[in-house]
Amino acid sequence: MERAAPHPHIVHEKVDPMSLQGKTAVVTGAGSGIGRAIAVRLARDNAAIAVWDLNGDGAAETARQITDAGGKAIGMVVDCADETAIKAAAAKVRAEFGPITILVNNAGMAPFTPYMEISNELWDKTIAVNLKGPHLCTREMIPDMLAAGWGRIINITSSSTQSGSFGQAHYVASKGGLLGLTKALALEYAPTGITVNMVPPGFIDTPMLRAAPIDAEAFAKTLPMKRIGQPEDIAAACAFLASEEAGYMTGQTISMNGGRYMGSA
């Protein structure tokens, strides 16, 4: 009886599902803190990074850290709540790196003000930076993602939208609006290959937290994990959401908060 010929040995090429090779990412507010950690992590996963921040020195330093490590990055001074500035900056990014298919809306402000003392000007500014800004950035970059049939939008919200935060009605309202925008866009663009998700940080060791009028170390002891988180914790969640591994996840929340909030919202 004739034996069947053995199957030829098939060698499968290994593909890293976390690799962002060939992708261009814009990370807003990446001149320090959480934004810097996200930019550095996405660059480590081989994305070309546009570092946007009002602080030019901070943006340049983040870009330098990436390029010194062998990555591709440009630091840019951008007001992420100004439509004209966003359009001009996006054009420069496309000229340098190509279409933008990853957007991390991280830029924000977090003032502490008793509710009855919030001026109309401060309310409007907080909404402009934390909600209108992400809307303008997203609207500018979605056409690139639609053309590619692939996109990742990651919004950095806040654990305060899940639990509230004393003296931050303006901040919580703006981040709550961003939560709603995330879900609406996730539903609208789900068939196109674009995912829209959010990461609400808890207490994370950043310059913004250190400048806040709270005892962060004391509050950290009330958390289940008994410690303050690190910017790299948020960056890890963003790296997953930006990857091929998260291609079937949209409109979702990854809560990096040390157990501060354990609900599903």
**Which residues are the active-site residues?**
171
205, 235 in Cβ contact below 8 A?
Answer: no
Q: What is the edge-to-edge ordering of all strands in the sheet holding 73-77?
A: 73-77, 48-53, 24-28, 102-105, 151-156, 194-199
Please name the residues in contact with 61: beta carbons below 8 A apart, sequence gap of 6 or more. 31, 75
The residues with which 192 forms a beta bridge, in sequence order, are none
DSSP state of 209: H
Q: Report angle CA 69, 70, 74 to the nearest 5 degrees.
A: 90
Minimal CA–CA distance to 27: which of 14, 44, 17, 39? Answer: 39
